[in-house]
A and B are shown apart, each in its own frame.
Chain A
Amino acid sequence: MQTTVVGNYPKIPNRPRPARLRNAINKRDRGEITSEDLVLVYDEVTTGVIQEQIDAGVDIVTDGQVRWDDDQTYVTRGLKGVEIGSLERYLDTNTYYRQPEITGAVGWEKPILVRDFQFARENSSKPVKAIITGPYTIAALSLDKHYGSRQKLVLALAEALRNELLALAEAGAEHIQVNDPAIVIHKADSALAAKALTTMLEGVGSETGVYTWFGSAAGVLPALLDTPADVIGLDFICAPDNWDCVRTAGFGKKLGFGIVDGRNTRLESPDQVAEDIKRMSDIVPPERLYINPSCGLEYLPRETACDKLKIMVEGARRAEGVPA
């Protein structure tokens, strides 16, 4: 059993610690520092976020997606055929993303995430998981002005993103996570989403995972289990019926067990986490469990996010019978 995170992490701490990145972006916007200066700040903040996860005891970390404004634009800015449009609400949160607008044939030109992955790996003593947004979610949250067909757009995105996965794998990414939460929201499209994931993941040498959040996988899980993904990540906080989904699915993959609430500051107790893990271990054996929050932690203040990781790690240790 290993502990991990679902991706993003709060970019700035609260007082008295300085909000370095927020201040640096403001300075860049005012022309007081250059974009190159800002990259250095992103690097430093990323290193800090990685170290914070490691210090909390997380086994497989991410770069916190510190450089990402949101899941939709960071990846699609690097693709052909995509422009960035207006602010839209992200799913049922009070956070907002810029909507990608598909204005031409989608295509991959060069690596988008590889430099970030290499930087994170060089600055981490623990394995780093690379994060990429999934084709179905990008399509569902974009404005299609070109294809006129959800199916065509999803499959074109899958082809394009496959190149990025191969580039990440070639750069040595042992763990790659595809963020595809819209799959559990638009259940009627699960066959299409699964087809796209298969296109994207087939034969990629790394361990690949597909993560969803904010919804129940009821009706969708069989299709996800048919994809080549090694790991399926589910949110057990927003959707407690994922317990039943997993129990009845004949769950043969690894499970990303999202059991610490990434959207509420209320802290779980390590014992509560341990109990949930033990209960899940009866359904999916511990060696096939990743213990992680229910979603990215960026909905929380930084200090709370860090506390939650420590509680999660402590809960996992107690579940394994490691003395405190």
Chain B
Amino acid sequence: MVTQQSQSQGAAAGNSKMSLTTTAVGSYAKPDYLSKARTAFSSGKIDRAELDKLERQATEFWIRAQEKVGLDVLVHGEMERGDMVAYFSGEPGGNPIKGMKLGGLVRSYGNRYYHKPIIFDKLEWPGPMTVEMWKYAQSLTDRPVKGMLTGAYTMVEWSFDEHYPSRRDAVLDMAKVIRREVEELVAAGCRYIQVDEPAIHTRPDTDFDMAVESMHVTVDGIDAEFHTHICYGEVEKIYPAMLRLPVKQIHLAFKNTDFAYLKLIDEFGYDDEKDLGVGVTDVHTRFLESVEEVKDGIKETLKRLPGDRLWIYPDCGLKTRTTQESEDKLRVMVEAVRGVKEELGIA
């Protein structure tokens, strides 16, 4: 372990690539005026132009907030999205994938319900779904803004499929749709594209190959850097299989499990070609981690991988936290990264 650590630091110090790049997973809380406007838009009380104006206002708020905190790579905050699957499937204000619509309410747990999407026909790209908002967010800042998409497996897994004979058929057609959107984002100048697959560990035994295949269909041959975010769940069941995903970076929620995933890396290794996204603050608790605690997590990870291959994130999207809580968690994260860099003398 000591040897590994010194190698890591050596590798980081000797590389011109930036160390411990800070970023976020995707979503932030919507300000009240935007939540109200979304309801008003759904019931026809305001028009698209008015909603658009408020979405952009809220997006600018989050771009500035991230700049102020000092993140290196920004997210646009998903002010225009309610849910990461429903946004592409008929949510008011979105441009839904052809062949998808929102269904009735189903319960996910407790008293929480959502409109579960339905695949009712062949899936086809409906024209750009995310490009305008990405262009707007990028126009506000000199720092890179990530493109944000939901992966084909998760899109299908979290929908009813009334059309396709098999899940595989649906997933592969969905991957073609997402790929088309990726191409548009790249054409618009997007360099980093995050394709989230939080459902990927739902059926590891039967479906994991399909999920890998669909990621190939989504990204192969496209000149951009691809990341994926895999959420809470039985990550140990898809490790090291997840290293087969054809992306440059995999992000995992390390903090929520007190960095237990490091044991997977110790046991099975990581992929020399990949960077690792490290979730260092728990988004499901209001409790604010201390800078020292976050530094400890980063330092533990640095014992396994060099700093220039680590990106530092919160565990997940921050939309369930208040604005203040989100800013605090990002600030602690950035301070911890600065502290680690100073302590270890890495750039």
Spell out A's residues near B (CB within 8 Å): 10-12, 14, 19, 22, 25-26, 29, 69-70, 87, 89, 92, 94-98, 264-266, 298-304
Is A301 within 8 A of B104, CB to CB?
yes
Contact (A96, B109) CB under 8 Å given A14-B104, A89-B233, A265-B118:
yes
CA distance in complex: A25, B113 (Å): 12
A197 to chain B, nearest CB (A): 26
Is A301 within 8 A of B110, CB to CB?
no
Sampled A-B contacts (23; CB under 8 Å): A10-B105, A10-B106, A12-B105, A12-B107, A12-B113, A19-B113, A25-B111, A26-B111, A29-B111, A69-B110, A89-B202, A94-B202, A95-B108, A98-B109, A264-B160, A265-B103, A265-B160, A265-B162, A298-B106, A299-B106, A300-B104, A301-B104, A304-B104
Is B162 within 8 A of A19, CB to CB?
no
Contacts of B136 in A (CB 8 A): none
Contact (A94, B104) CB under 8 Å given A12-B113, A87-B109:
no
Contacts of B202 in A (CB 8 A): 89, 92, 94
Is A264 within 8 A of B161, CB to CB?
yes
What total of A-B pairs shows CB separation below 8 Å?
A: 61
Contacts of B158 in A (CB 8 A): 94
A297 to chain B, nearest CB (A): 10
Contacts of A89 in B (CB 8 A): 202, 233
Contacts of A12 in B (CB 8 A): 105, 107, 113
Is A10 within 8 A of B107, CB to CB?
yes
CA distance in complex: A29, B111 (Å): 10
Task: Tell whether B346 is near chain A: CB-to-CB under 8 Å.
Answer: no
Q: Which of B107, B118, B199: most chain A Cβ within 10 A?
A: B107
Contacts of B109 in A (CB 8 A): 69-70, 87, 95-98
User: By DSSP majority rule, is chain B's interface helix, strand, loop, or mixed?
Assistant: strand
> Which chain B residues numbered 149 to 163 have a C-beta less than 8 Å away from chain A?
157-158, 160-162
Given A94-B158, A301-B116, A302-B104, 19 new contacts (CB under 8 A):
A11-B107, A12-B105, A12-B107, A14-B104, A22-B113, A26-B111, A69-B109, A89-B202, A96-B109, A97-B109, A266-B160, A266-B161, A266-B162, A298-B106, A298-B107, A300-B104, A301-B106, A302-B105, A304-B104
Contacts of B162 in A (CB 8 A): 264-266
Interface residue tally for chain B (C-beta within 8 Å): 21
A215 to chain B, nearest CB (A): 11
Is B203 within 8 A of A92, CB to CB?
yes
Is A14 within 8 A of B105, CB to CB?
yes
CA distance in complex: A219, B24 (Å): 47
Q: Binary interface profile of B, 150-193, with partner A (CB < 8 Å = 1, else 0)?
A: 00000001101110000000000000000000000000000000
Spell out B's residues near A (CB within 8 Å): 103-111, 113, 116, 118, 157-158, 160-162, 199, 202-203, 233
Contact (A94, B107) CB under 8 Å given A264-B162, A265-B162:
no
CA distance in complex: A177, B86 (Å): 36
**Taking CB as reference atom, which chain A residue is nearest B203?**
A92
B163 to chain A, nearest CB (A): 8
**Taking CB as reference atom, which chain B residue is nearest A299?**
B106
CA distance in complex: A255, B103 (Å): 32
Contacts of B157 in A (CB 8 A): 94
CA distance in complex: A277, B342 (Å): 72
CA distance in complex: A22, B233 (Å): 27
Contacts of A300 in B (CB 8 A): 104, 106
Contacts of B104 in A (CB 8 A): 14, 300-304
Contacts of A97 in B (CB 8 A): 109
Q: Which of B103, B111, B116, B199 contacts A22 (CB 8 A)?
A: B111
B202 to chain A, nearest CB (A): 5
**Taking CB as reference atom, which chain A residue is nearest B109?**
A96
Contacts of A266 in B (CB 8 A): 160-162
CA distance in complex: A25, B203 (Å): 33
CA distance in complex: A22, B107 (Å): 10
A46 to chain B, nearest CB (A): 16
Contacts of B107 in A (CB 8 A): 10-12, 95, 298
A237 to chain B, nearest CB (A): 13
Is B199 within 8 A of A301, CB to CB?
no
CA distance in complex: A316, B205 (Å): 35
B121 to chain A, nearest CB (A): 12
Contacts of A10 in B (CB 8 A): 105-107
CA distance in complex: A221, B217 (Å): 40
CA distance in complex: A26, B161 (Å): 31
Is A19 within 8 A of B108, CB to CB?
no
Contacts of A265 in B (CB 8 A): 103, 118, 160, 162
CA distance in complex: A70, B233 (Å): 19
Which 5 pairs from chain A and chain B are nearest by CB?
A301-B104, A96-B109, A266-B162, A14-B104, A265-B160
B303 to chain A, nearest CB (A): 29
